[in-house]
Amino acid sequence: MNEQDRYLVELLNKLLPTKLPSDITPEAFRRLEIILRTQLGQSQSAICRAVGCSKETARYWMSVAKTDAISSWSENRVGRPRVVNDLYLESLRELVSHSPQKYGYSFKRWTAGWLSKHLAKELGIEISDRHVNRLLKQMGLSTRGDSSSQNKKNPNRPTITIEDINPALLSQSRPQSQSDDESW
């Protein structure tokens, strides 16, 4: 840390309600520097030159500094706000674990589109069906269900696989009147 950064940290520790954390990220330090420079009366263009940020970034954090929301410097996330919350994820998990018929739908299996529509109606959060599929994958879930679920529903129902067919039985069951060219 150079001499100027040490001076900024000293000023920030006096300005902030809590002590500056030692593991502060460069982005958070830059936010604080913009706030501090605003408090010291520097202009937007001077802050942009000193900190190396865009006008939009400087304008935003200058407005934070001017509204006495300085304690929120660490709470504001960078990037697009997250739409999906924990309630949405829990509701999605709940829906996938039950049949759509339980919720009044006529179909037997959920699709990402219907999950999205149902949750938009229920929670007011609209996301694409692709994003629903992405969330399901992250949670280790799927709308397809377990492939062996049919056998679990009716364990007495026999299942036949290709490996179970005896080739000798196939040649015995073929009609003798057909030539080899006309066979299966």
What pLDDT, in 10s, does the model give residues 159-182? 655 555 566 665 665 555 555 555
Judgement on whether residues 90 and 130 belong to the same structural domain of the protein: yes
- Structural domain harbouring 132: 86-138
Q: Report how many domains make up the chain.
A: 2
| Among 121, 128, 126, residue whose Cα is nearest residue 104 | 121
- Residue 169 placed within a domain: no
**Predicted pLDDT of residue 62:** 86
Which one of 42, 72, 102 terminates a domain?
A: 72
- Which class for 182: exposed (0-12), middle (13-18), buried (19 or more C-beta within 10 A)? exposed
Instruction: Could you list the beta-strand ranges (E) of the chain.
Output: none
Q: Which of 72, 97, 120 is the last residue of a domain?
A: 72
Q: Residue 105 has what pLDDT? A: 92
Q: pLDDT value at position 149?
A: 47
The alpha carbon of residue 105 and the mean position of all alpha carbons in its chain are separated, in whole angstroms, by 26
Ranges of residues in the chain with a pLDDT under 50 are: 147-151
Residue 160 lies in a domain: no
Number of residues assigned to the chain: 184
pLDDT at 150: 46
pLDDT value, residue 171: 62
Is the entire prediction scored with pTM above 0.85?
Answer: no
Nearest to 65 by CA among 130, 100, 16: 16
Say if 177 falls within a structural domain.
no
Q: Which residue has the tokens 């940020």?
A: 53
